[in-house]
Amino acid sequence: MGVVIESEVWEPNQALYIFIFVSCFLSITCLPHFSMSSNKTPTLFDHSLSSPRFRRIFLLIYCLSSVMEGLWSVSGEYELAYYGVSKEQMVWYLCVGYATALILGSSLGLLSDLIGHKKACLIFCFLHLFVATWKRIFAHPTVWIASSCLSLASSIFSFSFETWMVAEHNKLGHRQDILNDMFWLMTFSESASSIISQVLANLLVGHNVVKHINAPANAALLLATVTIIFVTRGCKEVPQTASFQNYRISFYEYIFDKRIWLLAWAQTCVQFSISVFWMLWAPTIVADGREVHLGLIYPCFLGARMLGSTVFPWFFSGPLSIRTEDCLEYLFVITGFVLSIVAYDYQEIGVLVMLFCLFHACIGIMLPSLARLRTMYVPNELRGGMISLSLAPANAAILFFLMQRGYYFNIGNSTIMVFAALGLFSAAGCMHLLKRWGKQLRQNWHKL
């Protein structure tokens, strides 16, 4: 198809924001009625449940941590450009970050299983605190150190909070329904917090860039300090009783389970596709000189993910009933086709935005669904190590494509999207096999 170059700056219709907001509101408010009327098992919305204190504090901590993560992703590239860092240097810093996540981040999950996930979450906060303090001391600190620390923090963020929450859930003896609700609430909260971080960064920097360029670092410093206080004083943790020897024996016992390999590969493909999207969505939309308000499109994607996360309980706790593996199989196929369409040919900006919103709505259902499957197949004492190791292939693939695209210019953006689409199609195949091989385990699981 021909490429249409827009003569005006394109921005999304305000009706899209209203649709996403109203849809999320209706999905959340209508769920308790339908779920309680069709299923008498308690859910997170049943206020008669005991011990809600940890859930409230945990969600608050998770939201603060998500805002910290979002602040660096929103303001990081802009800050580097302000200090005169070239695009080639930015690619180098990205490579350093992903290499650090690959080499060191892959083992942090194993470490967190041994020392405790609350301590791992504190390490996450201290890494952000260190970077924010460094930026306050030095106007333009050594970027590769900041990139390495933030990459390690992102690696910890991907597994420690979830595993900590699941461990506390098991300690309190809550039902599986409550845990499933926490999974989608975490996805919902993370997406909402990312939008808040964008708004916060824009308000802090404002129009006086020279004076307020370090304002996001000040906000991250404050958020890290507050989060550390909440983690240390507001929450307890299940003591770690397993020795390194016992942990190693259990790890080798489960690492050769083919179902865990299938689940790990699916997680790898999702992580790779999400990373590819955030690196390529802006160059894809503004291709051929099209002028777009990217800052107005960014919340649409996160809003779509929020909407997708609210759909999750309708499938598994509400009136609709669908097996997790079947749901993920369909979602992987849909997202694979979305990236294939984008990779095959340029589209109108409106079409691209709708496709990308569909992609993120599916991601909003995928993330809590994969967390639900991990609860079924992966022992919680090994959960952090399994998740961190499953992210290693994704980090290796992203590092490889960054080198090929950013330095050697051997491949194009569309080729990278094709590989992400193929990964999602292969993940659909993994879910099909997991559905067959995990039938017996699922029957035992529903008896609990």
What global pTM score does this model have? 0.89
What is the arithmetic mean of pLDDT over 206-232? 83
pLDDT of residue 50: 44
Q: What is the pLDDT of residue 305?
A: 95
What whole-number distance in Å separates Cα of residue 216 and Cα of residue 204? 7
Task: Report pLDDT for 109.
Answer: 87
Say which residue the tokens 């992400």 belong to.
420
Instruction: Note the pLDDT of residue 37.
Output: 44
Helix (H) or strand (E) holding 135: helix 117-137
Residues facing 292 on adjacent strands: 10
| Within-domain flag for 8 | no
Phi-psi region of 84 (alpha: psi -120 to 50; beta: other; left: phi over 0): left
Please tell me whether residues 170 and 318 are part of one structural domain.
Answer: no
- Work out the average pLDDT over 78-92: 76
- Give the amino acid at 290: R
**pLDDT over 70, % of the chain:** 85
Q: Is the pLDDT of residue 40 over 60?
A: no
pLDDT digits (tens, 9 = 90+) for 108-165: 888 888 888 888 999 999 999 998 888 877 755 567 788 888 999 999 999 999 998 8
Final residue of a structural domain among 194, 214, 240:
240
The answer on pLDDT for 63 being more than 90 is yes
Question: Is the model more confident about 199 or about 447?
Answer: 199
**12, part of any domain:** no
Whether residue 257 sits in one domain with residue 166: no
Total domains in the chain come to 2
153 with 215, same domain?
Answer: yes
What is the average pLDDT across 12-32? 83
Report the percent of the chain where pLDDT is more than 90. 33
End-to-end CA distance of the chain: 55
Average pLDDT, the chain: 82
- What is the structure's pLDDT at 117? 85
CATH code, domain with 190: 1.20.1250.20
Among 184, 215, 240, the domain-final residue is 240
Q: Are residues 229 and 299 in the same domain?
A: no
**CA pair distance 397, 426, nearest whole angstrom:** 15
Domain hosting residue 378, numbered range: 242-448
Per the domain annotation, does 232 fall within a domain? yes
Domain boundary among 178, 207, 240: 240
Q: When comparing pLDDT for 436 and 112, which is higher?
A: 112
What pLDDT, on a 0 to 100 scale, did the predictor assign at position 216? 84
pLDDT in tens, 307-324: 999 988 887 766 667 788
Interatomic CA distance for residues 27 and 369, integer angstroms: 17
